[in-house]
Chain A
Amino acid sequence: MGYALTKQQLNEYLKALGRQYLLVGPIREKAKGTFSDTDKIVYGVFEAFEDLVLEEKAFYSPKEFLMPIRETLFHFLDGQIVEPKIDTKPILIFARPCDLNGIRRLDTIFLKNGDIKDSYYERRRNLVKYVMIECTEGFDTCFCVSMGSGTYKDYEAAIRFDGNQTLLDVVDSTLVTEGLSQVIRKDFVPEYIKENKVKVVIPPIDKVNNSIFEHPIWKEYTRRCIACGRCNTSCITCSCFTMQDVEMSDDGLLGERRRVWASCHIKGYTDMAGGHGFRKQNGERMRFKTMHKINDYHKRFGENMCVGCGRCDDVCPEYISFSKCINKLSEIIKEESHE
């Protein structure tokens, strides 16, 4: 069902939604940027349209609302296990198609990867619905079109903020508030981005083999990458985690187990007993990430993991561009297959 809302009607609508849902969207955190006197755009809880930041890309993705950075899975005491309750207020996430496609990747990893569903993910996932923010322009580093993730059809609602008028397409009946009956009906079909400034060519899945592991391209990233992990923490599809057991009593019987984001670029990711690590060079970590995002995942699930949101480009302190890396890799593989 389509609606055309004035600014005031939009805020009234958001207010009504806010009673049912925790509204989450891209917001500005004043003076919380990494550098002094800078803001940070993040996904956070908002109330009114004015809180939303649409002209800049959020530094982090909305994934933390589905897989918290740190989550206590259970407390243990002498053989007993207690799972802490989570806030069960439903969440309405306002996000662009790339991020919604990214969340679909998270669904795949946590819910469709083998026979067992990740119940901790599932309980949060079941609380979330999506309002797709129409995105037809993108930002400088976006390459969603190349990744086929510039469109998204499974939204519960879609929204276009257009000056004084907001167009809304509501699919989910629970998002039709009473107040909407006072609003002018207007059919609205969201448009999608057709072209990004950055275009990426993915190497054909079956053409990539282990010989590329030895290619000097990765040495370049050993030299450039500082393994800070920002590309992973900002990525909508990075879903690796590690476990932390915290003992709260001397005998170790009382404590908690939590899971915490972990990632291939960050210290300790492949550490094993005896101090062994599989990927000690930063270039090897870059290779692992690249292969996972545009090859391994595709082999298993039939689509690329990377959605081309471009956040890894935005946040890299060393100005390493992932889209550029993919294109370089494509060139190398193209040349090698011709030989």
Chain B
Amino acid sequence: MSIDRKIVTKNAYRITKIRNKTALRVRVPGGHLEAKYFQIIQEVAEKFGDGTVHLTTRQGFECPGIDFDRIPEINKMIRPLIESLGLDVDYGDGGYPAAGTRNISACIGNRVCPYANDDTTRIANSLEKAVYPHDFHFKIAVTGCPNDCIKAHMQDFGIICLTEPQYESKRCITCEACVDNCKKKVTGALSVKDYNIERDIEKCIGCGECILKCPAGAWTRSEEKYYRMVIMGRTGKKNPRLAMPFIKWATEEEITQIIKNTYGFVERYIDTSLPKEHIGYIVDRMGYQVFKMKVCRKGGLYHARNFFTGRSTGCAH
């Protein structure tokens, strides 16, 4: 059997340990899809695969045990699903491109979770539009609050949704529910002074817990939504590490621009002698300050506030 491995894997099919069998991988940006598409996945698995489906760590589906020659048929079949996910990029009935930049995963976000500060699926989808498809090896995830249920700290780019709590003293009954909770559960950013609550803006991580705890509506959400971006987290055999803070209280435009600019950085500095080089290793090789300078150059980011210094990111510098 002759298979162009590079083309097949770029088209969302895996080379498996079983000779002549492949597996279809379906990415689901933001990890949320309409239940009706399960029928398609079921049909693929039962008709062409071994009847099982694996739920991937990046919130996709993988249907194993498929014969390579069935790929065109399957591509036709999954078209509606691919279209619904916004992944229908010039491939028509040819399936869809999948390798390189990985599925942008998201926690369940504020469509369901009371803690979430934003609609993580929406953000994942909009980031997906900005970066997909791409060959470079990027892992991005969006989490609704600093609890980080999606494990944004294990990604090249982890986006943590924040709100800036707004305090209205005339609605405050000084019950201290917010203060006690922040002390026990968060960073102890709140304190009482003259029966008013003071928020230490250096300690506040924008989780919004104080808003959730307030019985009188003294704490409300900021009109603007904000994001903390943590970068260069990774698993893998060489130097696994948690992501470190890069920018806090950033806007959605800023985080999107940083990610887009990073593709330019990789383009310029990637070691092409290797089959592939992961973004984290490129940053390690080039140094944090070079990375920061390059990704901040475009899109008005140069003057953006709230970048962390190299030291605090723990990145090589």
Contact = CB atoms under 8 A, between A and B. Distances in A.
Contacts, number: 74
Given A266-B173, A268-B175, 9 more contacts: A35-B116, A36-B116, A36-B117, A36-B161, A70-B171, A246-B194, A246-B195, A267-B176, A267-B180
A260 B192 CA distance: 15
Q: Is the interface of B mostly helix, strand, loop or mixed?
A: loop
Nearest to B109: A36
Contacts of B173: 69-70, 229, 233, 260-262, 266
A34 interface: yes
Contacts of B220: 32
Interface centre among B169, B175, B208, B213 (most CB of A within 10 A): B175
Contacts of B174: 244, 260
B19 interface: no
A225 interface: no
Nearest to B211: A34
Contacts of B161: 36
Interface in A210-263: 228-230, 232-233, 244, 246-247, 260-262
A77 interface: no
B62 interface: no
A184 B265 CA distance: 73
Contacts of B316: none
B110 A37 contact: yes
12 contacts: A35-B110, A35-B116, A36-B118, A70-B172, A229-B173, A244-B174, A260-B173, A261-B173, A267-B175, A267-B176, A267-B177, A268-B176
A36 B208 CA distance: 9
Contacts of A247: 194
Contact of B212 (A34, A40, A260, A266): A34
A143 interface: no
Q: Is the interface of A mostly helix, strand, loop or mixed?
A: loop
Interface of B: 110, 114, 116-119, 161, 163, 169-177, 180, 194-195, 208, 211-217, 220-221, 223, 225
Nearest to B196: A246
B178 to A, nearest CB: 11
Contact of A37 (B119, B177, B212, B216): B119
A74 B270 CA distance: 70
B214 to A, nearest CB: 8
A60 interface: yes
B118 A266 contact: no
Contacts of B223: 31
A42 interface: yes
A68 interface: yes
Interface string A31-50: 11011110010100000000
A56 to B, nearest CB: 16
A37 to B, nearest CB: 6
Contacts of B163: 36
Nearest to B114: A35
A232 B216 CA distance: 9
Contact of A69 (B114, B170, B176): B170
A247 B195 CA distance: 11
B221 A261 contact: no
Contacts of A246: 194-195
Contacts of A35: 110, 114, 116, 212
A263 to B, nearest CB: 8
A240 to B, nearest CB: 10
Interface string A15-35: 000000000000000011011
A70 B175 contact: no
Contacts of A69: 170-173, 216
Nearest to B166: A32
B213 A228 contact: yes
Contacts of B212: 34-35
Contacts of A244: 174, 195
Given A36-B118, A37-B110, A229-B215, A31 B171 contact: no
B32 to A, nearest CB: 15
Interface centre among B163, B194, B216, B221 (most CB of A within 10 A): B216
Nearest to B122: A37
Contacts of A68: 170
B171 A36 contact: no
A267 B114 CA distance: 24
Interface in A287-326: none
A267 B223 CA distance: 30
Contacts of A260: 172-174, 195
Interface centre among A36, A232, A247, A262 (most CB of B within 10 A): A36
A232 B172 contact: no
Contacts of A232: 215
A244 B175 CA distance: 12
